[in-house]
Amino acid sequence: MKPGTARVNGIRMHYARGGDGPPMVLLHGWPQTSHCWRFLAGPLAETYTVIAPDLRGYGHSDKPPDGYDKRTMARDVAELVVSLGFGGAVGVVGHDRGARVGHRWALDRPEQVGRLAVLDIVPTHALWQRWDTRLAASYWHWMFHLQPDLPELLAGKDVAGYLRYFFERWTYRREVFDPATIDTYVRAFSAPGALRAGFDDYRAAFPADDAHDSADAEAGRRLTMPVLALWGAQGLLGELPALEIWRGYADDVRGRAVTECGHFLPEEQPEVVLRELLEFFAG
């Protein structure tokens, strides 16, 4: 995978690219960067042109003070793919926040997304609708990150300690987050503006993303391309009926829980995820 930088939608976006086939885009989540695809990018590049960007506000990409609603972040990625000479992507794979960007991209520009894989999420709109004490206990960080200034103040005093909390609590196979891997992510979120940008990603979930999602629901807009939903059996979704929920938002959904896996599927169970992706995108 070779690094690159493109000027898209008013920002400089860093990406890694490899392979020489139909384009496949990999979108990371929080608290990570495109580094999270290190186990999957190479094998996928044997069949596809793999494009793995650092999303707006993450990694080596710009960290502007605005534009963290998923519509804008999806436009970033759409423009990146076009700037690299492609009309769209035969496949988009998103994990965590990246899956929310991929979902929005597929809704706003369905002609650019052939197939969509979403890892360890349900739609943002569905999550807000189902909010109860159990979800609040699992997704407490959403409400914390929504607060202005406070997360930067508290987490900024110990970036490593804050991120390590999630890499321990959200994993089943904790050994995959060795010191070198954690240090890579800690360095990324210790860069100027990085913590704030990551929290701004969450701050956009309400009201901006919720307003966009609610408008789609009222208009009856659904995903029309095939969708693969995978989640960790020991991940954040817990007892949520993920497939049933996704079928309320998409016409063609398949998927399953991945056993012995927490939230971070691309790193905890890369062999299983690779097998599922290759089968799904082969059609």
**Catalytic amino acids?**
96, 263
Residues 51, 90 contacting (CB under 8 angstroms): no
Residues 40, 179 contacting (CB under 8 angstroms): no
Q: Residue 136 contacts by C-beta under 8 Å, 6 or more apart in sequence?
A: 143
Residue 90 and residue 92: Cα distance in Å, rounded?
Answer: 7
Among residues 86, 18, 85, which one has the least CA distance to residue 53?
Answer: 18
Strands ordered across the beta sheet of 227-232:
2-8, 11-18, 49-53, 23-27, 89-95, 113-119, 227-232, 253-258
Residue type, 132: D
Cross-strand pairs, 6: 13
